[in-house]
């Protein structure tokens, strides 16, 4: 996960500080020296790392901290505040036009993920009740237009294209098309290059002049570290971007780009790509990211993930069945299907305080859910609705049909039985007649990974 190495090293520094009780000025300076090394190893810009630790040191050696009953906690608080400030203080929202359509230009180097993230942004805007239009302005890369068509189908968003026509003309015609067809956001997927050149910048400048976009979002790959920052600076110097989308922040990246790019360019990170699925795009919140780096988790993003990706109607149906103690394999299938929408189990757990540091050591096989779904789908509708029908011969048939073992089938039956017992024990109604369980999550779900 991103920032894993940096987070571990910074927390080791804090652990040392907490063990000292009273802190001296030299204690703070030694600690900040270690933090600076950790930042540099995470590929944070040298100047940014130096200025950051200087600010923290200056604030931490003040009388208020040194004479505090918990000086180490005060230093951690200061680091948290400075990290948040370094990444931009607060989430920067999209600038929407007062008179639609809002025009968003997506730019960046080839391979940064412009096309896929154009689709992800369209899907996010659709969920906010907008009517986006995707526009194919990349006429140079082979199959770029076809790729955007496929992305558009995935996120159920219309795609405007004019083949190999001039990109500036395509952009102008697309905006007029949006006005005529009620699309309130136009997302221009522009061409990229393997490197920054005059031809690329000239074309982008012409598109900017023609359609006067409200947003010019630069898509950069977090995996490229300091190169991502250098690319962002070059694009901003030549084009005056309005914000950044940082992709692949879920991968094995050291995270330096996220900590450096705002300071170097003066432009905010507005969104981060956190996976390969169409809905794996999150608004960037500097305070939450600082909390994750310092091991405080990110509960708010976790809650938003659940709210955005869980079918509320099915959750309400589940709550009613829990109250009546009528859970069956159809319910279990719904639960696991919705859980898969939320991404990896480790990714979810890493956002919870106390678990974010332990999740990498947990023995969690992400494919367990797929295997469980395979078992349930190998049952007949009658067997799913009434598990009591599943006798030894049916178990063998289900196991063979799913490619799993009879032992796994027995464990699944036992899990459902234990769940039903727990529900019966704890599903007493509260003050307002609601179950003590919410509509999402089976009790004892963790047993799957034991």
Domain of residue 76, residue span: 4-87
pLDDT attached to residue 447? 45
**What CATH number is associated with residue 212?**
3.40.50.300
- 87, 116, 142: which is the final residue of a domain? 87
Q: Is 350 found in the same domain as 424?
A: yes
CB 311 within 8 A of CB 338: yes
CB 114 within 8 A of CB 120: no
The 10s digit of each residue's pLDDT in 80-127 is 889 999 998 788 889 999 999 999 999 999 888 999 999 999 999 999
Q: Is 245 found in the same domain as 180?
A: yes
Q: Is 397 found in the same domain as 326?
A: yes
User: Which of 66-75, 113-122, 391-400 is least confident?
Assistant: 66-75
- Which sign, positive or negative, has the C-alpha torsion 263, 265, 266, 270? negative
Confidence tier at 318 by pLDDT (50, 70, 90) = low
- 277, 304, 331: which is the final residue of a domain? 304
Q: What is the pTM of this model?
A: 0.67
> Is 97 part of a structural domain of the chain?
no
For residue 256, give both structure tokens: 């330096």
Sheet holding 243-247, edge to edge: 159-160, 132-136, 185-189, 102-107, 215-221, 243-247, 269-273, 281-283
Total domain count, the chain:
3
Parallel/antiparallel/unpaired status of strands 243-247 and 102-107: unpaired
pLDDT attached to residue 238? 87
pLDDT attached to residue 305? 60
* φ and ψ of 398, to 5 deg: -65, -45
Confidence tier at 1 by pLDDT (50, 70, 90) = low
For residue 84, give both structure tokens: 């948040």
Length reported for the chain: 450
Mean pLDDT of 128-139: 96
Buried b / exposed e along 385-420 (16+ C-beta atoms within 10 A): eebeebeeeebebbbeebebeeebbebbbebbeebb
pLDDT at 307 over 60: no
Name beta bridge partners: 273: 281
Q: Is 334 found in the same domain as 225?
A: no
Q: Is 423 found in the same domain as 321?
A: yes
The 10s digit of each residue's pLDDT in 323-368 is 555 678 888 888 777 777 666 656 665 555 555 555 555 555 667 8
The 10s digit of each residue's pLDDT in 257-271 is 888 888 889 999 999
CB 239 within 8 A of CB 190: no
For residue 274, give both structure tokens: 């956190």
Q: Greater confidence, 33 or 70?
A: 33
pLDDT attached to residue 172? 96
Confidence tier at 291 by pLDDT (50, 70, 90) = confident
pLDDT at 444 over 50: no
The 10s digit of each residue's pLDDT in 214-241 is 999 999 988 877 788 888 998 999 889 9
Parallel/antiparallel/unpaired status of strands 132-136 and 243-247: unpaired
Neighbours of 72 (CB within 10 A): 23
> Is 215 part of a structural domain of the chain?
yes
Average model confidence (pLDDT) for the chain?
Answer: 82
CA dihedral of residues 357, 270, 40, 33 (deg, nearest 10): -70
**Whole-angstrom Cα distance, residue 244 to residue 131?**
22
**What CATH number is associated with residue 441?**
1.10.260.30
The 10s digit of each residue's pLDDT in 14-26 is 888 888 777 888 8
The 10s digit of each residue's pLDDT in 237-246 is 988 999 999 9
**Whole-angstrom Cα distance, residue 151 to residue 118?**
9
Please name which of 118, 244, 135 lies closest in space to residue 183, comparing C-alpha atoms.
Answer: 135
The 10s digit of each residue's pLDDT in 157-196 is 999 999 999 999 999 999 999 999 999 999 999 998 878 8
Neighbours of 152 (CB within 10 A): 23
pLDDT attached to residue 311? 58
pLDDT attached to residue 173? 97
Buried b / exposed e along 260-277 (16+ C-beta atoms within 10 A): bbbbbbebbbbbbbbbee
Task: Give the highest mean pLDDT range of 54-63, 298-307, 324-333, 361-370.
Answer: 54-63
* φ and ψ of 348, to 5 deg: -65, -50
For residue 292, give both structure tokens: 């994750």
Q: Is 224 found in the same domain as 174?
A: yes
């Amino acid at each position: 996960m991103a920032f894993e190495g940096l987070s571990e090293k910074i927390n080791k520094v804090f652990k040392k500080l907490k063990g000292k009780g009273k802190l001296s000025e030299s204690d703070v300076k030694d600690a900040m020296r270690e933090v600076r090394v950790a930042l540099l190893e995470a590929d944070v810009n040298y100047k940014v790392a130096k200025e950051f630790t200087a600010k923290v040191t200056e604030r931490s050696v003040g009388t208020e901290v040194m004479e505090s009953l918990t000086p180490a906690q005060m230093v951690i608080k200061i680091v948290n505040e400075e990290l948040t400030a370094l990444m931009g203080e607060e989430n920067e929202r999209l600038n929407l036009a007062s008179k639609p359509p809002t025009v968003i230009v997506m730019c960046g180097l080839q391979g940064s993920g412009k096309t896929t993230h154009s689709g992800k942004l369209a899907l996010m805007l659709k969920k906010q009740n907008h009517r986006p239009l995707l526009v194919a302005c990349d006429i140079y890369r082979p199959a770029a237009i076809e790729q955007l068509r496929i992305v558009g189908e995935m996120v159920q968003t219309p795609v405007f294209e004019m083949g190999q026509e001039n990109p500036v003309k395509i952009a102008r015609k697309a905006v007029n098309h949006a006005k005529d067809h009620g699309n309130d956001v136009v997302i221009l997927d522009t061409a990229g290059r393997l490197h920054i050149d005059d031809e690329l910048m000239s074309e982008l400048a012409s598109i900017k002049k023609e359609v006067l976009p409200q947003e010019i979002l630069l898509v950069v790959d977090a995996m490229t570290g300091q190169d991502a920052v250098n690319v962002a600076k070059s694009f901003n110097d030549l084009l005056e971007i309005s914000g950044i989308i940082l992709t692949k922040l879920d991968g094995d990246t050291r995270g330096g780009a996220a900590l450096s790019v705002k300071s170097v360019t003066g432009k905010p990170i507005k969104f981060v790509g956190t996976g390969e699925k169409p809905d794996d795009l999150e608004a960037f919140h500097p305070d939450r990211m600082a909390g994750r780096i310092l091991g405080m988790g990110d509960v708010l993003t976790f809650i938003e993930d659940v709210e955005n990706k869980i079918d509320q109607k099915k959750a309400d149906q589940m709550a009613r069945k829990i109250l009546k103690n009528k859970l069956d394999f159809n319910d279990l299938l719904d639960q696991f299907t919705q859980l898969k929408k939320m991404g990896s189990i480790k990714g979810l757990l890493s956002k919870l305080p106390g678990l974010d540091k332990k999740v990498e050591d947990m023995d969690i096989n992400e494919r367990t859910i797929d295997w469980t779904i395979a078992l349930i789908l190998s049952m007949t509708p009658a067997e799913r609705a009434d598990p009591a029908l599943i006798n030894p011969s049916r178990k063998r048939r289900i196991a063979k049909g799913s490619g799993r073992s009879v032992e796994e089938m027995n464990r699944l039956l036992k899990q459902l039985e234990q769940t039903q017992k727990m529900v019966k024990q704890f599903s007493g109604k509260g003050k307002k007649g609601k179950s003590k369980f919410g509509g999402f999550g089976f009790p004892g779900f963790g047993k799957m990974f034991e």
